């Protein structure tokens, strides 16, 4: 249902949520090695945990950063609050309580300073910014109600940004070092199910899956609140995953949907590149771009329990 890719000293590592396992799985894509990663129960320190001796982690959303030479995993889910672990040892860094608000989404922030996590809770509807250790979080003003998705910028040459999209419509973007809002965008109460941040022609932009369409906004003041161009259409059902990459001179978006397809878009022209990418047998729940063996790729995963790897450089020719 979710994965993240983190660059370690040994190379890239894909960390996959597994809500029925109690821990996570990792995949080394360069060596094609899968490994189970048991994790200490997040609520083990809560007195209520003794009443549930068979309880284990229920993880649907994951994020990871490298901090002080170790991989710090942040995760939670539909039945568990936010917690952090040392991925290698499985030891808790920050535990959770039984009565913590459950996690709706989590994303990592890399580049531009200390690594951070941004989380959204399901019921309290809080958006919080956490460090990789045990310090108290900072809170961002939530203007989208029930949060469906989060994204953060990674090393794009401007201060780290975070974006959140809501089930009730709308997207908001923050400058994390300043803690202030960069912009908010109305989607006429249409659900925003996926967001990503990137750069286009020197400006930072926001890409969002708005039900079965993709909309793109510029974050510079001169762009205002209107999308840069008409919505990108082609998906036959909801767009539930999106990520972006700069490949050569082109800024691309990769989207995944409930229609079981992955699609590639040129964000300068607002057009789809090539035919839909097929191979999943179920909804595509998450996509992430990366560089593997010197090539730009996209990884996609979903309800069929597999990860597909797509060569963006070949498709985008």
Q: What is the pLDDT of residues 114-130, one digit of tens each?
A: 789 999 998 778 899 99
CB 147 within 8 A of CB 165: yes
Residue 272: name the closest of 261, 283, 280 by CA: 261
How far is residue 60's CA from residue 73's CA, in Å, rounded to a whole number? Answer: 13
Strands 239-247 and 103-109: unpaired
Domain boundaries, the chain: 3-238
**Looking at residue 19, what is its pLDDT?**
63
Distances (CA, A) of 256 to 65, 190, 242, 296: 24, 18, 6, 17
How far is residue 249's CA from residue 287's CA, in Å, rounded to a whole number? Answer: 21
**Looking at residue 238, what is its pLDDT?**
97
Q: What is the pLDDT of residues 287-306, one digit of tens each?
A: 999 999 899 999 999 888 88
Confidence of residue 165 (pLDDT cuts 50, 70, 90): very high
**Looking at residue 112, what is its pLDDT?**
60
Confidence of residue 144 (pLDDT cuts 50, 70, 90): confident
**Taking 90 as the threshold, does the pLDDT of residue 241 lie above it?**
yes
**Taking 80 as the threshold, does the pLDDT of residue 20 lie above it?**
no
CATH of 3-238, one of 3.40.190.10, 3.40.630.10, 3.40.50.970, 2.130.10.10: 2.130.10.10
Q: What is the pLDDT of residues 244-298, one digit of tens each?
A: 999 988 999 999 999 999 999 999 999 999 999 999 999 999 999 999 989 999 9
Q: Tokens at residue 220, please?
A: 């510079």
Q: Side-chain half-sphere of 177: how many Cα atoms within 13 Å?
A: 9
**Is pTM, for the whole model, over 0.85?**
yes
Residue 144: name the closest of 100, 183, 199, 196 by CA: 183
């Amino acid at each position: 249902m979710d994965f993240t890719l983190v660059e370690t000293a040994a190379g890239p590592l894909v960390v996959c949520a597994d809500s029925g396992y109690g821990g996570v799985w990792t995949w080394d894509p360069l060596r094609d090695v899968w490994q189970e990663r048991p994790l200490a129960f997040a609520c083990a320190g809560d007195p209520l945990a003794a009443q549930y001796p068979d309880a284990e982690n229920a993880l649907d959303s994951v994020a990871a950063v490298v901090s002080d030479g170790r991989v710090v995993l942040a995760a939670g889910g539909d039945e568990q609050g936010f917690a952090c672990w040392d991925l290698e040892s499985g030891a808790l860094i920050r535990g959770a309580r039984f009565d913590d608000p459950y996690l709706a989404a989590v994303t990592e922030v890399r580049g531009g300073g200390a690594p951070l996590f941004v989380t959204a809770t399901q019921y309290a509807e809080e958006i919080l910014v956490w460090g990789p250790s045990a310090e108290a979080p900072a809170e961002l003003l939530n203007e989208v109600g029930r949060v469906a998705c989060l994204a953060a910028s990674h090393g794009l040459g401007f201060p780290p940004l975070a974006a959140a999209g809501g089930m009730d419509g709308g997207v908001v973007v923050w400058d994390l070092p300043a803690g202030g809002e960069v912009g908010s965008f109305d989607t006429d109460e249409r659900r925003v199910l996926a967001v990503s941040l990137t750069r286009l022609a020197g400006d930072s932009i926001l890409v969002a899956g708005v039900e079965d369409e993709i909309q793109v906004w510029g974050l510079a003041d001169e762009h205002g609140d209107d999308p840069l161009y008409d919505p990108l259409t082609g998906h036959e059902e909801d767009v539930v995953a999106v990520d972006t990459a700069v490949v050569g001179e082109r800024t691309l978006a990769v989207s995944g949907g409930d229609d079981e397809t992955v699609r590639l878009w040129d964000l300068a022209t607002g057009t789809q590149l090539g035919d839909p990418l097929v191979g999943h047998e179920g909804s595509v729940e998450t996509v992430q771009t990366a560089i593997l063996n010197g090539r730009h790729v996209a990884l996609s995963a979903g309800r069929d329990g597999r990860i597909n790897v797509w060569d963006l450089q070949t498709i985008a020719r």
